[in-house]
Structure formats: structure tokens, C-alpha cells
Chain A
């Protein structure tokens, strides 16, 4: 009944496009797909919508270098053709980097995503930050208070951190970390940064921080595999 073909797109979201939030991004992509005349599939029902699934929303203000979205087309298309059709219709700041055809029964990117790399440029240079990071990594558990659905809840975020690397060679401190991202467990980079700053006795201000999300991964038998192969 459903002969749709599934494609996975990897795209970047940078420059001025970081100022649109997830819902606007979704609408933007829907319109671009229409404009590019891709034979997009629609859901059934009274209010049909395009069959598009994002792996995980990218918050307003953050850049992305390897964002993932799955789309379903009603007719097969060459992957490069899809890529070119979209890129010639996209505004500056968003570009499709790669398109791969998926097996229809592959887990959707939203269900599969588990980890993400983040590249973070801090507002200044913290000479002793390596010590703080070491102490974070040595902890067995890190309980922080989170407000979830208006209820305060304690969450242990330690299992959500795989590694944090420090690059202090430049004028300001840069961090590269790999943290849990997705429905199985999710750690927002700003929550982590706020925690690290608090250990250093500093105030964290997200508006003075550059955050770039890199590769998104799924986890297969304990091994991290990029979502877009």
C-alpha cells in the first residue's frame, strides 16, 4: 500500500539561520521541498502533512554541522538529484551535505539518535578548566535539579557524558564533548556548561557562547555509529 522510499538527509544550519527555532525550521523545510518539487509523501487523514522526521531539534542559537532529517518520497530519485534540487532552493545558511537512501524498515532517525558531538567556544579563556573537567569525569554520579513538566526532579547526568576535551591553545577556551542526545537520554549542552561554570564559580551566559552540534550518532551494540552512514 505504501510504496514510499525513505531518504536520510544530512544538513548544516549556520550563520543567520541559527536564529530560527525548530518549528520554523520544519515549516521552512516543508516549503523548500515543495518549491524544489520533490515528490514528497503525505500522511493520511484529514490534515495531511509531509512525511518528514527530524532526528532531534536544534535549539535556536546553536549551529549544526551534521543535522539529520528523514523524508519519504513517493517516487525514487537519485540521491544527488535530491541534494541539488534542495540546495538550489535553500536560503544561505542551510545546505544539504549528503543524501542516502534508506531501507524503509530502518529505524527512524528520531528513534535511533543517541549521542552527539558538540563543539563549544566559551566567552573567555579559563586557564584551569582542565582540572575542573577532570573532576567532572572522575565523578561516579552528578545529580542536578531539573524542572521537568513543572516538577523539580533530580537527574544524574554523569551517564550522559562520554567525554569532554579541552582545547586551550587559542584566545578563548574551546570544548569538544560527546553527550547523550535523544529520547533514551538527553543532556543539553547548556545544562552541562552551567554545571561546569558553577564548579568554577563563574556565571554562565549562553548568549556569549558559541555552540556547534557536530555528528549525530546511534548506538549499535555499544558502538557509536554516525546516523548518516
Chain B
């Protein structure tokens, strides 16, 4: 039956596993079966570094078999439902419902409907309270887990922080409990002692009449009132796989990925990742070069990429980049560089690694004026951008991509005009080059603007998001004022960002919106062509919940925020100070220039102690 179905769907290799370096174990020989679920299609999930790390991390335990599950694409889902085939794991093809753990990684809010859909396809009740002793334990982690509340009634337990730290302890407790005939309930109670574990049902929420939170309290004396994230202290000692799953079909990133460090020194005020992964913890260049060798040798890949939030900030960057070039230049292995601050060194580097074609240069000023860039603490100046462009134009580059956000706090039309002026200035910079030297090459500047989404654990967590109408007006304004034919303007449809805004700062009640939208057909929301905005609009109506309350309302500093019981190690005081500094247009230097005492030094490692 499965064969017949697989021959009827697009890209059947999405559902068969069997990749190079897939882990094969005998399920009956292990104590714990863990289904790692990525709530998006195979090609997206397989390009995700976290999956690769956790997969081998869990599978290094003899008592555990971690298998993978992805969201089946529409055609496959239809066939599965038609033929009563439940959601299955790729390695063994076994139904997910049989597993001990079903773990979701929460990478973006707009994948939440896929989680609901996958639970449903697996035959597992959607609401945590409806599950029985025979259902798997649903656990979730990843960046969106820092505000777990919108999924708190759906996910049984959350893992707050980096997987390498507490999973061993958690699984040991589970195995012991299972062996001793303990129930799931027994396990949950015991798991309360594990650092980084948040189990929503041990907490009660009360609300004020205006809908804000009145109180949030544990209802079990063993439940910690604050759950603090767990992170790896020493990246050189941390587990990192020496191989990688190599897909049989083309995926989004078909290459070896080398994680250089975690965290980011910059402190851009809109960026959640920049705060939740603090402090910066680097791997040594030696270790990275060694890892690169293993990964290349064990995968057969022809490309290696460096990933981290702002890879150019790595202290050993030059050494690492040159080391990789030296090793691999003759070896038919290409090196893909992250976007770098443009200077003579980086241009030279780019020249070396991308001999084939001069792809575009990328800048992310995020805001159009210096004033607004100071507000968001984006440490890049117009002068730097223009100088970088000139250098690049002289070196033969002619395509420039600029990334901005609209709807940032304190933004005025003047800031929007700044986007136009900056792109014009870049074009003019190009025409400063004497005509003979331009050799008839045309310049193109592509401006993209995303819609700003205020995120928990950033200084902007209290601010109101622009409404869909406001976003549209702002985009029209920019579009209208761009007149040079060399400048192209791309913008995102604001509806998706607006919903992301609701879910990012949602509370326990928000789950009803997600489930209702799913009932009305929403899934794969982050896939533009599949996004069903109407379903979401209807979901707000049907649940009586207000999107303005979540997205477009400014909060006061003393309001209890839905994620206040989670700690990323940065004090609320710091975020309040940052918000006030933002309003005053004051910048905060990066961690290496001057420590701002955010609180993350309490983890006892990384940049705070360099």
C-alpha cells in the first residue's frame, strides 16, 4: 500500500529516510523511542542544524533511538488520510503514536498549525489534558519555546535552552521510571527537578478583567517559580556530531554546516536570537578545522558553510576562513561565507571563494536613518555602507541587496524616506566611478523590507506592533518614493507578520486561535502560496480573542508578561533600561567593546569572561 502511495506523490524520497549517515538501530533493543518532529516539509527541516545535532546527540545513547518526522506535504497527507496511514517516522516507518517521546522543534511561530496537524495525523489528541497513559509525551524546544504559553495547553513539557545540557538527565529519569512501572504522572513530577524543564500543567494563570495576567503561580510545590534556560558553557567540550545526514534529494541547504559560535555580541534591540542565546560562546579555531575535516570526510558533501548569528564577529575568523580555503580549495569543495561586513579583507576573501560569479553584496541596515538605527542599536553607519559599496564596485560587484524593517518603534515617515535616500546614495556612489571603468556594467540595488514583529525577551517586548493597514501604508510610501530605475523594491505581505506578532507574544489562551485556524484549514502558513489568511481572521471571530490585544497594544513595564516565568538569564531591568535608551536614541556598545551587564555573565562562561 505504502509503495502505491509513494509512487503517486511528489518527491517520495521525503518519506523514506535511508540517507547517508542515517542511524539504524533495532527498536526492540532500546528503552526509549524518540520521534524528533520538524513541523515543516522535509527539505526545510533537513537543512536545520539543530536537528542534525540533537539527532546524533540522542542517538549516541544506546538506550535511545531517535528517529525523524517531517510534516507530510499536502499530496501525501491526502493519501495518508484516505488510506488511514498514521504519521510515521522515517527510520523505521513505525507510527509516531507508539513512541515514548514526540519532540517538536519550535523554529517559527507560523509552524504551529503544522504541529497541530501532525499530532492529528499521528492519532494523538491535540490537547494535553485529553492524552492518556498510552500516548507519547509531547515535548518541545527551540527558540519559540522561550514563550511557551501559546502552546502550553498542547505540549506536555517544554525544554528551555540547549539540548546538550539536560536531555541525558531527563531520559535517564524516564527510563528508570518506566522500568519501575511508574506512570507518566510520576515521570512529570520527577522531571520537575531537571533544569530547564517547564511543565505547564503545574502552573495556574489568573486574568484581570482587561485580559492581562493577574497571577501566574505553580500549583505543585516542586515546580520552580522561574525556569531558567540551560546552556552549554564550554563549546569546545560540547558534543558536536562528526557526521551529518546527507539527504537523497535536494534540500534548502545541501552542505556541511559548521557552527562557529553561539550567541551574538551585537545586541540589536529587535533581535530575539541575539538575546536568548547570550552569552557568546566560541569554539576554538583548531576544533573547528578538525570538525570540518570529519564532516567533509564523512558526508561526501561538496560545500561547507559557516553558520552563527554574526559569523564575522568570530575572533579567529581570518584564521578559520583562510584555513578552510587552504584545505579545500583544490579539493572540489566550495566554501559558502556568511554575509560579512564589507571591507578589504572580506572582499578579498569573497573573491577567493566565489571565483565563479560575483553574487550580490548584502547589507542589513534595518532602518533608513541613523536616528532609527540608533534606536534599534544596529551598529552600522551610512558611511560604512557607502564605503563598502565603493570598494565592492571597484572590485567588480554590481548587485547590492539591502534589508530593512518597517514598523520599528518610534519610526516616522522621515525614517521611511531614509530607505529611499540610502538606496539612491548607493546608486550615486556607483556613478562616481569614471564611465570607462564601469565597462557598461549596470548597477542594481534591491531593497527588501520586512514587517517588524516585537518579540519576547527583547527591549521591544512591550511595544505595539503596526497594524496590517499601517504596514501597507508604509510600504506604499516607500514604494511610491523610489523613483530610480536601478532600485527595485520588494516587500513582504504584512498579514503573516501580523499573525506572527499575535503568536509571538501570545498567552495560554492563544492556543484556541491556532487550533481553530487549523480546523478551518490553516497549515504550512509560512508558505506564501498556501497561507490562508481568512482562516485566521475567522479564528479570531470564532474564539472571541482579540488580535489587537496581543499584537497592537503597548504594555506597561509592570504588566505580568506571559513569559515572565521563563528566564534567559537577562534581567527585566536590563530590558527596561534598553527600551528607555532606545527611546532616547542612545546606543549600547557590543559585548566586546563594553559589557552592559545584562545578567548573562551568571552562566559563568563565554564572552563575559574573555
- A residues bordering B, Cβ < 8 Å? 16-17, 19-20, 24, 27-28, 30-35, 37, 42, 46-48, 60-61, 89, 91-93, 206-208
Contacts and interface: CB of A to CB of B under 8 A. Distances in A.
A20 B300 contact: no
A93 to B, nearest CB: 6
Interface string B277-317: 00000000000000000000111111000000000000000
B12 interface: yes
Contacts of B17: 16
A20 B20 contact: no
Nearest to B249: A24
A19 B16 contact: yes
A60 B16 CA distance: 13
Contacts of A92: 18, 24
A34 B298 CA distance: 9
23 contacts: A17-B18, A19-B6, A19-B16, A20-B248, A24-B250, A27-B250, A30-B300, A31-B246, A31-B299, A31-B300, A31-B302, A32-B20, A33-B300, A35-B297, A35-B298, A35-B299, A47-B356, A91-B19, A91-B20, A92-B24, A207-B3, A207-B4, A207-B7
Q: Which 7 A/B pairs are nearest by Cβ-Cβ distance?
A: A31-B300, A35-B300, A34-B300, A19-B12, A207-B7, A16-B16, A16-B18
Contacts of B20: 28, 31-32, 35, 89, 91
Contact of A93 (B18, B246, B250, B356): B18
A92 B6 CA distance: 18
B13 A207 contact: no
Contacts of B4: 207-208
Contacts of B249: 20, 24
A24 B20 CA distance: 13
A47 B298 CA distance: 23
Contacts of B298: 35
A31 B301 contact: yes
Q: In this complex, which of B6, B13, B248, B302 has the most chain A Cβ atoms within 10 angstroms of its Cβ?
A: B248
Nearest to A92: B18
Interface of B: 3-4, 6-8, 12-13, 15-20, 22, 24, 246, 248-250, 297-302, 332, 356
Query: DSSP class of B's interface residues: helix, strand, loop or mixed?
Result: loop
A95 to B, nearest CB: 13
Contacts of A91: 18-20, 22, 248
Given A24-B248, A48-B332, A19 B299 contact: no
Contact of A32 (B13, B16, B300): B300
Nearest to A93: B18
Contacts of A61: 7
A48 B334 CA distance: 12
A24 B300 contact: no
A17 B13 CA distance: 8
A137 to B, nearest CB: 29
Contacts of B246: 31
A24 B13 contact: yes
B26 to A, nearest CB: 14
Given A19-B6, A92-B18, 12 more contacts: A17-B248, A19-B15, A30-B300, A30-B302, A31-B299, A31-B301, A35-B299, A46-B356, A61-B7, A89-B20, A91-B18, A91-B20
A28 B248 contact: yes
A48 B6 CA distance: 34
Contacts of A32: 20, 300
Question: Which of B15, B19, B249 is most buried by chain A, counting CB atoms within 10 A of its CB?
Answer: B249
B94 to A, nearest CB: 14
Nearest to A25: B248
A149 to B, nearest CB: 24
Contacts of A206: 7
A89 B300 CA distance: 10
Contacts of A60: 7, 12
B13 A19 contact: yes
Contacts of A34: 300, 302
A30 B17 CA distance: 19
Q: Name which of B17, B299, B300 has the most chain A CB atoms within 10 A of its CB.
A: B300
B101 to A, nearest CB: 25
B7 A20 contact: no
